[in-house]
């Protein structure tokens, strides 16, 4: 089946014509729904007419949230060429690897990257476009504003096959290894949109003002189309600064946000969270990592029953399990630590090592199948063959579904610790540590041990002004989850490495201890 995505957007623009659709805080840009539709038509037309980007071509964006919002799904799905969005906060080395992997025809960059990136990109024969007018012209550098000048805002009149034509590439987070490149069609994106609307709770409507501080190149960006199609407003913030975020929530009367747990933990301790008026917030989505039930109760007490947890992935870009606001208000602490109740929008199957489904309460690997599951990884047949089977994506997450349909994520396969023949899951130990009032954040890994093969080890960051002994923390964990799961060693550190989207990087912690060893767990 084919569709003209610009035509879909035109229908939305007619319905919500004069309502605000997009606010870019740092650049103070504002678009109504009608203006955003016409502007993104111009961008899609410019990509074809001025940059000759056609079906089969790829353009890559290394942009902050406000500029990337101009080239996000509401633009990319209108055109022929495929957009590849990278995380602006990634390192230059990571960007270089991504560029060489995807081989784009055109790269859009922030002006702050011109000096460091222009030569490298030109050496590769890539057309380079900066988003703001440069201080002085440079050979081989084009300006976004100049390219748009004189381009009409009519329907690009592009029809794409909704399940076959790849129009977006995104790189996986790479928390357990080198990132892979996921490929998306229009139907993948519409499945994500629809998953927001399927709940009995109404999270997004025309009054929604949804702020994005996390990179919209990744999970946060999944909220853009659901907000657009309901007539709401997307608000972008570039700086990863919680203090500014608090001010912006007050100034822009933000109703909806998305946070990873590590940022929500910091929000609890932040003075600005009390000095600014955050009462306009009615919904805060969280995900990407498990939340400590103790800290979640503290967040509810502080900010109200506004939290919604969603479980999905880069490879399955929809909500396959949801812990609703109603669930947050009524479930036990045990189920508060779950990923939510499985939805009816995706097949969620727990399988054993032979790929056979297991019963309720039995831990196995989580397999997912739905419209939102990608067809595979770009230019990676080995990865595609290993992780996809009969339409299912093999998530690599270990978990179980209880008798009432709540999905519990036990751990990543690569983060499972085998100590003395027992399986210990890092997530469970971290949750127990986080339940201690002195602990801000922790990372649990297996480290080599001659007797046990590997032992449970924790790096812990304490809250400012708090003290606790290693021995007391170990006893605390023993009391919550048992003796054999408790850390045998703890190190207090000032910082835990996290990814640019806020996920704890256990791989970086683990590598320090396994530098001269071969880890038994794959």
Give the pLDDT of residue 423.
Answer: 66
Distance CA 346, CA 322 (A): 12
Q: What is the pLDDT of residue 435?
A: 87
How would you classify the pairing of strands 233-236 and 209-212?
Answer: parallel
* Residue 4, Ramachandran bin (φ over 0: left; ψ between -120 and 50: alpha; else beta): beta
- Of 160, 187, 214, which residue is a domain's last? 187
Q: What is the CATH number of the domain that holds 507?
A: 3.30.300.30
Share of the chain above pLDDT 70, in %: 93
Structure confidence at residue 434 as a pLDDT band (50, 70, 90): confident
Q: Determine the pLDDT at residue 291.
A: 73
Closest CA to 57 of 107, 91, 9: 107
Residue 105 Rama label (left phi>0; alpha psi -120 to 50; beta): alpha
Integer CA distances (angstroms), 87 to 44, 72, 172, 425, in order: 21, 13, 10, 29
pLDDT at 450 over 90: no
The values of phi and psi at residue 465, to 5°, are 80, 0
On the question of pLDDT at 99 being above 90, the answer is yes
Residue 138 three-state SS: coil
pLDDT digits (tens, 9 = 90+) for 103-143: 999 999 999 999 999 999 999 999 999 999 998 899 999 99
Q: Which residues contact 218 (CB under 8 A, 6 or more apart)?
A: 87, 170, 173, 314, 501
pLDDT of residue 173: 61
Burial of 123 (0-12, 13-18, 19+ CB in 10 A): exposed
Q: Cα–Cα distance between 342 and 210 in angstroms, integer?
A: 25
Residues 6+ apart with CB under 8 A from 484: 419, 420, 422, 424
Determine, yes or no, domain membership for 457.
yes
Number of domains composing the chain: 2
The encoded tokens of residue 83 equal 């957009």
Confidence grade of residue 519 (pLDDT, cut at 50, 70, 90): very low
Identify the pLDDT of residue 521: 38
Q: For residue 52, give the nearest of 146, 147, 161, 135 by alpha carbon.
A: 147
What are 112's two structure tokens? 């702050």
Confidence of residue 505 (pLDDT cuts 50, 70, 90): confident
Q: Is the pLDDT reported for residue 230 higher than 70?
A: yes
In this structure, is residue 211 part of a structural domain?
no
**pLDDT band, residue 263 (cuts 50/70/90):** confident
| Rounded alpha-carbon distances, angstroms, from residue 309 to 10, 53, 71, 106, 217 | 32, 38, 28, 37, 20
User: What is the predicted pLDDT for the residue at 506?
Assistant: 81
Choose one of 187, 209, 236: the last residue of a domain: 187
- Name the domain boundary from 187, 213, 232: 187
Residue 488 lies in a domain: yes
Residue 216: pLDDT band (50, 70, 90) is very high
- Tens of pLDDT, residue by residue over 272-300, are 999 999 999 999 999 866 677 888 899 99
Instruction: Give how far the C-alpha of residue 161 lies from the chain's centroid of Cα atoms, to the nearest Å.
Output: 26
Residue 310, domain member (yes or no): no
Residue 76 lies in a domain: yes
pLDDT digits (tens, 9 = 90+) for 17-60: 999 999 999 999 999 999 999 999 999 999 999 999 999 999 99
Domain interval for residue 117: 1-18+33-187
The answer to whether position 301 is within a domain reads no
pLDDT category, 522, cuts 50, 70, 90? Answer: very low
* pLDDT mean over 382-407: 94
Mean model confidence pLDDT for the chain: 91
Residue 181 lies in a domain: yes
In a domain, 449, yes or no: yes
pLDDT at 104: 98
- pLDDT per residue as tens digits for the range 356-376: 999 999 999 999 999 999 999
Band the pLDDT of 177: cuts 50, 70, 90.
very low
Helix (H) or strand (E) holding 62: strand 58-63
Q: Tell me, what's the pLDDT at 232? A: 98
Does the pLDDT value for residue 451 go beyond 90? no
Q: What secondary structure does DSSP assign to 76-103, as a single string? A: HTTSSSEEEEEETTS-HHHHHHHHHHH-
Residue 167 has pLDDT above 90, yes or no: yes
Read off the CATH number of the domain in which 70 is found.
Answer: 3.40.50.980
Residue 191's contacts (CB-CB under 8 Å, 6 or more residues apart) are 317, 318, 345, 370, 371, 372
């Amino acid at each position: 089946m084919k569709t003209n995505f610009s035509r879909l957007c035109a229908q939305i623009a007619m319905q919500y014509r004069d309502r605000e659709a997009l606010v870019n805080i740092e650049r103070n840009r504002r678009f109504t729904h009608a203006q955003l539709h016409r502007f993104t038509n111009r961008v899609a037309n410019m990509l074809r007419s001025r940059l000759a980007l056609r079906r089969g071509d790829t353009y890559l964006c290394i942009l902050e949230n406000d500029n990337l919002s101009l080239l996000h799904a509401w633009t990319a799905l209108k055109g022929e060429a495929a957009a590849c969005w990278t995380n602006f906060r990634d390192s230059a080395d990571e960007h270089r690897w991504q560029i060489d992997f995807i081989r784009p025809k055109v790269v859009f960059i922030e002006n702050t990257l011109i000096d460091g990136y222009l030569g490298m990109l030109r050496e590769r024969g890539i057309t380079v476009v900066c988003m703001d007018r440069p201080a002085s012209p440079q050979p081989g550098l084009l300006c976004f504003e100049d390219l748009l000048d004189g381009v009409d805002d009519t329907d690009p009149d592009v029809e794409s096959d909704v399940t076959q034509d790849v129009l977006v590439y995104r790189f996986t987070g790479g928390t357990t290894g080198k990132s892979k490149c996921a490929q998306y069609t229009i139907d993948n994106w519409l499945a994500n949109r629809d998953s927001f609307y399927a709940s009995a709770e109404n999270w997004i409507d025309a009054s929604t003002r949804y702020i994005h501080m996390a990179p919209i190149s990744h999970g946060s960006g999944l909220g853009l189309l659901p907000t657009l199609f309901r007539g709401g407003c997307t608000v972008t913030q570039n700086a990863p600064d919680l203090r500014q975020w608090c001010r912006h929530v007050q100034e822009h009367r933000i109703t909806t946000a998305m946070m990873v747990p590590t940022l929500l933990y910091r929000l609890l301790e932040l003075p600005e969270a009390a000095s600014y008026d955050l009462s306009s917030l009615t919904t805060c989505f969280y995900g990407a990592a498990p939340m400590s039930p103790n800290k979640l109760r503290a967040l509810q007490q502080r900010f109200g029953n506004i939290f919604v947890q969603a479980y999905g992935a880069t490879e399955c870009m929809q909500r396959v399990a949801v812990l609703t606001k109603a669930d947050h208000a009524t479930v036990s602490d045990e189920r508060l630590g779950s990923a939510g109740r499985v939805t009816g929008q995706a097949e969620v199957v727990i399988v054993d090592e032979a790929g056979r489904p297991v019963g309720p309460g039995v831990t196995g690997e989580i397999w997912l199948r739905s419209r939102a599951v990608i067809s595979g990884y770009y230019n990676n047949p080995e990865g595609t063959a290993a992780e996809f089977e009969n339409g299912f994506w093999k998530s690599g997450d270990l978990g179980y579904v209880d008798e009432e349909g709540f999905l519990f994520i036990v751990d990543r396969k690569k983060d499972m610790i085998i100590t003395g023949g027992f399986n210990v899951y890092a997530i469970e130990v971290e949750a127990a540590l986080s339940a201690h009032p002195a602990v801000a954040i922790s990372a649990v890994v297996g480290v080599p041990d001659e007797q046990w093969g590997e032992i449970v080890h924790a790096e812990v960051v304490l809250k400012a002004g708090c003290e606790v002994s290693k021995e007391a923390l170990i006893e605390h964990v023993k009391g919550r989850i048992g003796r054999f799961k408790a850390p045998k060693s703890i190190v207090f550190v000032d910082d835990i490495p996290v990814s640019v989207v806020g996920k704890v990087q256990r791989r970086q912690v683990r590598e320090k201890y396994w530098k001269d060893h071969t880890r038994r767990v794959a």
